[in-house]
Amino acid sequence: MKIFLDTAETDIVSKHWKTGLIDGLTTNPTLIRKSGRKHEEVYQELKDIGIPDISMEVIGNTENMIAEGKRLHKKFGKCATIKVPCTPDGLAACVRLSLDGIRVNVTLIFSPAQAILAAKAKAAYVSPFVGRVDDNSFGGLCLVKDIAKVFREHMVRTEVLAASVRDVRSVGRAFEYGADIVTMPTGVFEKMYKHVLTDAGLKQFDIDYAESLKADGS
């Protein structure tokens, strides 16, 4: 069971990495563009922080994705996971990169059939997009459950990385339904700490502790 952050904000990543609760990180061109930074500048900072698993997206045709994936892996080493789309070109690139010992995350998964193809392409991870499936009136978490079931039945080593997760409840459900990894925005991760009953219990403990000190004459 692993937690990844889905962000390109390196300052925030550094803060949460220090908790010891984060296992890796996903990025995409949109997140990096919003950060106002260059892709490889962000990747280098994340590597320097100590993130051991960073999804780095590549685009283009098969040969372009292979060339860029190999270049990124050579530059950033074992922390580089090459992220490709679930398309014919992306899956062909996945096969060849995986055979070279490079970890690949196949993204934009919206059906068990796509996940099966990605697993056949020797992907390390498949990334079903929970929130985007929900946006189109289908069950995003059910997709995670269906993929995990198929992988268990056939003893597939490819891990299910639930992506586009937008709330704390979905994090718990994704793990319940068999996700190996859940990647989430930092705001969702921060909310995982919180519960109204925890706050109420802590407040009562503080009151009781103060009262016990008075009773002891302290």
Query: How far is 32 from 196, CA to CA, in rounded Å?
Result: 34
Q: Within 10 Å of residue 127's Cβ, how many Cβ atoms?
A: 26
Q: Are strands 80-85 and 104-109 parallel, antiparallel or unpaired?
A: parallel
Query: How far is 190 from 114, CA to CA, in rounded Å?
Result: 32
According to DSSP, the residues that pair with 192 across neighbouring strands are none
Q: Within 10 Å of residue 80's Cβ, how many Cβ atoms?
A: 22
Q: What's the maximum distance between 2 C-alpha atoms anywhere in the chain? A: 77
Verify whether residue 120 is a known catalytic residue. no
Sorted by sequence, the CB contacts under 8 Å of residue 187 that are 6+ apart come out as none
Options 2, 75, 83, 145, the catalytic residue: 83
* Nearest residue to 138 via CA among 125, 129, 151: 129
Euclidean distance between the first and the last CA atom of the chain, given in angstroms as a whole number: 45
Residues serving a catalytic function are 83
